[in-house]
């Protein structure tokens, strides 16, 4: 897909792009992600900003290249790096930090001149806790003992789940909860929705944080974080959350994209019907509110043609009902999710087209 006039990506100084659920699910690329990011980065820098602290930027870049993206370690910012940067401002050089998680945690600490350790015998002054499949109960016990003894506790993120090709698995938030429950303390969180990761992205590309576009699939991290900072966001419907979840939150995404093709096109406009009729239209797709929780969606026949209009329509309708306090907003959101899902299932190939990436 080529870059169109007025493309969304051209309106910003840099893109802070999430990975899990946006670019890939486990080891598989999300349809359209690779081709669209390669096109978009020709005009606007893209930094891959991930809450997943398990791997080093070198490992992440290697996976991105295996999917067909042009990526170097400098194109990746992890929450482990944000956590190490936060600790560096408060600890002495070479001070011991208990590393909980994957190699990405150790690497981030060593990169800034702190000393990652895996034992309480080193008397760590701090704990940097991230996710890894290999984290054990013994690791969580060590973290709890260190935190209870007064160590500074930094969590890379508190995502409760992590999307994989096999489905959702427990995320770092579940591991953080174990230490919280054992100690009664709260960690400093540096990943999304907190500011640390966005600061690191802005610094990496040398643009004001206000010029970032935050791209992500999670309302409670990617989009909430952008909203708190006053940064524009593009919520992508290829990961964890859908319109039913949007209806149940207070989060307001700036844009909604069915997939990353939306970065290469102008934003979809949505119009509201006049008078008392509850009627909205966007790009030939229309929605009529027929009764409590009942929405009739027409004109959405082909994913490749109508998905962007359906996404814009879903945002407008759900936010309108949510603002009114409509108790059936979640039900209406779920209908939009079902229609979008059906379009994807019926599309030829991956969401339609012979070579989506």
Active-site residues: which are they? 18, 20
What is d(CA 62, CA 353) in angstroms, rounded to the nearest whole number?
A: 27
What is d(CA 332, CA 120) in angstroms, rounded to the nearest whole number?
A: 52
Reference 175, options 191, 194, 157, 192; nearest CA is 157
DSSP state letters, 193-225: TSSHHHHHHHHHHT--GGGEEEEES-IIIIIHH
**The two three-digit tokens of residue 62, written as one number:** 């290697």
**The two three-digit tokens of residue 262, written as one number:** 């939306």
- Burial class from Cβ neighbours inside 10 Å (0-12, 13-18, 19+) for residue 34 reads buried
Residue the block writes with tokens 């303390």: 185
Residues with Cβ within 8 Å of 244's Cβ and at least 6 positions away in sequence, in order, are 330, 331, 333, 334, 337
What is d(CA 291, CA 27) in angstroms, rounded to the nearest whole number?
A: 43
Helix, strand, coil shares of the chain, percent, nearest 5, are: 40, 20, 40
Does residue 297 contact residue 49 with C-beta atoms inside 8 Å?
no
**The two three-digit tokens of residue 44, written as one number:** 């606007």
Residue the block writes with tokens 């802005």: 202
Omega before residue 193 within 30° of 0, cis = yes
What is d(CA 337, CA 316) in angstroms, rounded to the nearest whole number?
A: 14
Q: CA neighbours within 13 Å on the CB side: how many for 8?
A: 27
- Classify 348 as helix, strand or coil: coil
- Classify 232 as helix, strand or coil: strand
**What are the backbone dihedrals phi and psi of residue 72, each rounded to the nearest 5 degrees, phi first?**
-120, 165
């Amino acid at each position: 897909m080529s870059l169109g006039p007025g493309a969304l990506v051209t309106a910003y100084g840099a893109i802070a792009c999430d990975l899990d659920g946006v670019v890939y699910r486990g080891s598989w690329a999300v349809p359209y992600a690779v081709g669209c990011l390669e096109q978009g980065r020709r005009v606007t820098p893209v930094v891959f900003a991930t809450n997943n602290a398990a791997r080093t930027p070198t490992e992440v870049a290697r996976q991105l290249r295996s999917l067909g993206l042009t990526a170097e370690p400098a194109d990746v910012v992890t929450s482990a790096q944000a956590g190490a940067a936060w600790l560096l401002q408060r600890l002495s050089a070479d001070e011991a930090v208990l590393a909980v998680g994957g190699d990405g945690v150790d690497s981030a600490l060593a990169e800034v001149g702190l000393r990652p350790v895996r034992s309480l015998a080193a008397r760590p002054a701090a704990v940097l806790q991230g996710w890894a499949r290999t984290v054990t109960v013994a690791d969580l016990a060590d973290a709890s003992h260190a935190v209870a003894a007064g160590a500074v506790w930094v969590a890379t993120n508190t995502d409760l789940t992590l999307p994989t090709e096999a489905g959702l698995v427990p995320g770092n938030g579940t591991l953080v909860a174990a230490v919280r429950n054992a100690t009664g303390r709260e960690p400093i969180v540096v990943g999304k929705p907190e500011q640390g990761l966005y600061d690191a992205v802005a610094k990496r590309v040398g643009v004001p944080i206000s010029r970032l576009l935050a791209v992500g699939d999670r309302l409670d991290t990617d989009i909430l974080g952008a909203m708190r900072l006053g940064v524009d966001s593009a919520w992508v419907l290829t990961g964890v959350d859908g319109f039913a979840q949007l209806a149940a939150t207070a989060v307001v995404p700036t844009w909604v994209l069915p997939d990353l093709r939306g970065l290469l096109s102008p934003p979809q406009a949505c119009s509201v019907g006049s008078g008392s009729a509850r009627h909205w239209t966007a790009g030939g797709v229309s929605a009529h509110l027929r009764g409590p929780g009942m929405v009739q969606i027409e004109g959405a026949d082909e994913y490749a043609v109508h998905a962007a209009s359906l996404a814009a329509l879903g945002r407008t309708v759900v936010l309108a009902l949510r603002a009114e306090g409509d108790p059936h907003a979640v039900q209406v959101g779920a209908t939009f999710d079902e229609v979008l899902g059906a379009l994807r299932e019926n599309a030829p190939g991956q969401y339609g087209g012979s070579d989506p990436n």
